[in-house]
Structure 1
Amino acid sequence: MSLLLVVLAAHVGVGAALLALAAMLSAGPGEP
């Protein structure tokens, strides 16, 4: 049960990190 929670937390963390990275790149100097 705890292993499932760890995997779920890791998945959510990676998703949030990817969203933040995409937001930073899209709002970066490359975008006019």
Structure 2
Amino acid sequence: MWRRIQRRIHMRTQKRILRTTISIDLIIAS
């Protein structure tokens, strides 16, 4: 059960990192 929760948290962090990377790319591009 704990692994499942950990995986969910990891997915959320990955999504956040991806979103931040896209935002930084957009700022650099503009």
Same fold per superposition (TM over 0.5): yes
Aligned-residue CA RMSD in angstroms? 0.9
SS in 2 for 1:27: helix
More helix by share: 2
Q: Report the number of matched residues.
A: 28
Aligned to 1:13: 11
Which aligned segments of 4 or more residues in structure 1 are displaced greater than 2 angstroms? none
Quick one: distance in 2 between partners of 1:18 and 1:12? 10
Question: Is there any run of 5+ residues in structure 1 with no aligned partner, and where?
Answer: none
TM-score, structure 1 normalization:
0.73
The percentage of counterpart residues that share the same residue type is: 0
